[in-house]
Amino acid sequence: MDLTATDVAHDFHPWFRVYKDGHVERFLGSPCVPPSDDHQTLAVRSKDIAISTASARLFSPKTIAPNEKLPLLIYIHGGAFSILSAFSSAYHNYLSSLVEESSIIAVSIEYRLAPEHPIPACYDDCYAVMKWVAQHNDGGDRPGLDPWLNEHADFGKVYLAGDSAGANLAHNMVVRADGDGDGLKKITGLVLIHPYFGNEEPANLWEFICSDSGGVNDPRLNPAAHPGLLSKLGCEKVLICTAGKDCLRDRGRSYYAALKESGWGGAVEIVETEGEEHVFHLFEPTSDKAKAMMKLIASFINPTNAASS
């Protein structure tokens, strides 16, 4: 397709560019990879599930004892609501490593991307997966349910996590689940990695990709401006990870301060990795700091496994 700068209608570099003919050009990402179920060489198995307008990649340790129950993690990828994929090599490898490190079951959500699918599409897709996961809570064996979750997910230990925009989505899924009887009845913890939240400054990208924006203080974008909602956050504990050189660092700090001051009754911890950029752990997964953050998150999700390893 031979398009030039004069054909550009909206430019949101480094994420995407929209041309006058409606074509969307994305700039960041890594190639998608298939799930893996090689029993001979892999420590972690994976498979894909289609769920309404969304889909998910499930991860499980290769070796699980019969009837053994493991903590369940629901993970949401980042990418400014508009790029990247749960099926990319970066996220596939990250979730595989996290499952191996922490000995958990994981569900990594693939949602529709803006701008072709404006917000709230990504929120609705994530919640559709949440509701599908919740159907396994009674241990039934109905059509459409997955045996990995039925047999090995501990629904008394459910965690949500995400990075960047995925952290925003994860926070909002906890808020939404708390007010919806069809959702997960109990969420133990929330992990926000370099979260993308707003503040009082104009949010041009958000306004462009959101079909029902409430402005800079939209509670989905800027939860720190809504202490009443934060005080009712439906989980027991929260871990916030920030990075010293991340332009979004102060958004995570503001969320932490607002949550502490809201009167919420849970436990919140914030840990900063000095000298690192936004989502550095995805680009340099073998670095010492990325490994340290992996161990931190693994011990938060499954402290029993961390204590025994």
The pLDDT of residue 217 is: 93
Instruction: Quote the CA–CA distance of 196 and 91 in Å, as a whole number.
Output: 18
> ∠ at Cα 116 (221, 85), nearest 5°?
75
- Percentages helix, strand, coil for the chain, rounded to the nearest 5? 35, 25, 40
Q: Which mean pLDDT values do the consecutive 10-residue runs of the chain (309 residues) have? A: 75 92 87 86 92 96 92 98 96 96 98 97 97 84 84 95 98 87 82 95 92 92 96 96 97 98 97 98 97 98 76
Q: Where are the alpha helices (DSSP H) in the chain?
A: 89-102, 121-134, 147-152, 165-178, 204-209, 227-230, 249-261, 280-283, 288-301, 303-308
Q: Which one of the listed residues 102, 108, 164, 254 is annotated catalytic? A: 164
**pLDDT score of 144:** 75
Go through the domains of the chain in sequence order and give each one's CATH number: 1-30 (no CATH), 33-308 (3.40.50.1820)
299 a catalytic residue: no
| Strand partners of residue 267 | 237
pLDDT for the residue numbered 137: 86
Burial group, residue 253, by CB count within 10 angstroms (0-12, 13-18, 19+) = middle
Q: Give the integer Cα–Cα distance in Å for 44 and 38.
A: 9
pLDDT tens digits, 247-294: 999 999 999 999 999 999 999 999 999 999 999 999 999 999 999 999
Query: Which pLDDT score is estimated for 39?
Result: 67
Give this prediction's pTM.
Answer: 0.94
- Count of Cβ atoms closer than 10 Å to residue 5 Cβ: 8
Q: CB neighbours of 38 closer than 8 A, spacing ≥ 6?
A: none
